[in-house]
Chains A and B, each alone.
Chain A
Amino acid sequence: MIRISNVQKAFGSVIVLKGIDLTVEKGELVCLIGASGSGKSTLLQCINGLEPIQGGEILVDGISVHDPKTDINKLRSKLGIVFQQYNAFPHLTALENVALAPRVVTKRSRAVARALAQKHLEHVGLGDKGDSLPSQLSGGQQQRLAIARALAMEPSYMLFDEVTSALDPELVGEVLETMRLLKSEGMTMVVVTHDINFARESADRVAFLCQGEVCEIGTAEEVIDNPRKEQTQKFLRRENRKPLEIVRSSVA
């Protein structure tokens, strides 16, 4: 379980997170939605300790992320993260990308790491692309590669930071498919996204962030179909949510 309690964060004098309370239970998919600048990506990067916090606490399976005594590198192997861009290491092949961390961090042998890497590449549908460089892969394939690479460390939680926002529309579907696959396998996921339809379809709970706070939180139906707060309603209207039928056919 990830427990975020009263987390405050500022960049210099700019306060980005004003006191976030959020809990993510095992097996859940929680979506974080909100306008740019609402602090969603920052919050995600606080969860695995990439960003420090100025107040509050984040506990992952009971371990405090920002406690100086915590072995952050060990903790990070429980949390996989995929960013919006510049994910796949450009100087390594797909297989090397995935095999690197198992070899270097968990000290697996070269052979074991390669086998592990191949398995995870197949898991995301890139089994035949092992020897390709990221520059030879499409944007969607690179993102799936990044997912496989994070999965190779056998994390308990996966964090997604707007992973489809920088992709051409026709490449978005394959990445969302992979994410749905993970959900069906029971992975606990925290997904920051602009894609309201994905949130409505796949999320167990949705949290709407505005101006550094959780303005509204509830099940996907509650927040997206029947938002209670005015800010949520305004935001959803601006995002101009498409009807579900049209979304499904364009992804198939």
Chain B
Amino acid sequence: MFGMNGYQFYWSIVWDSLPLLLAGAWVTIQITILAFIVGTLIAMPMAVARQQGEGWAYRFSTWWVELSRNTPAVFQLYLFYFGLGAFHINIPSYAAVLISVSFNNAGYMTEIFRGGLNAIPRQQLSASRSLGMTSPQSFIHVIFPQMFKVIFLAYVTQGIWGMLNTSLGMLVGLQELSGATQYAQSASFRTFEFFLVTALIYYLIAKGLQFSSHLAFRLIYRS
């Protein structure tokens, strides 16, 4: 196939490297899911803390939220990768990407969860407490299930943004999908062909995540 200026598109070379790309895609998916879970677990108590309006937990979560939302994801990655390295704590790139994407997810999810918490009537909490449940029990069994239903779409969207952020692994030498592509194309310099296929793979992963989340929603909430 001929392009402009006599550039010949050469797709079969990408096909040969497909196993490498798919291995990278697997790393991407791993980190996406792990960072999604870790982010969620951190964001739940932080959202509750943010609702308090005062106290050290409130200030800590606010600091976390504002830092993660007002700086680039790549800065957050460098913070953990280079920043810890300056203290002679050299973490591998996999860990750096996982930690920074989790950090980022946690910040955004805290605010998403807050929106959901605000939509739940206050009486729900008082009712559960009156039934004898402790505060954590009330949140886990009564409040959070309702919250997740309300914010489900924004929550899943954030998960997908987390996936997009894993691509920064390329900048610190991680062989997730983008890094693997960078490595694979470095021999032939068929940058365009390789990265176009990679873009397609990302698109498919995103669609897959969206689809499975809709399925999960229906299974969990039976609506």
**Any A–B CB pair closer than 8 Å:** no
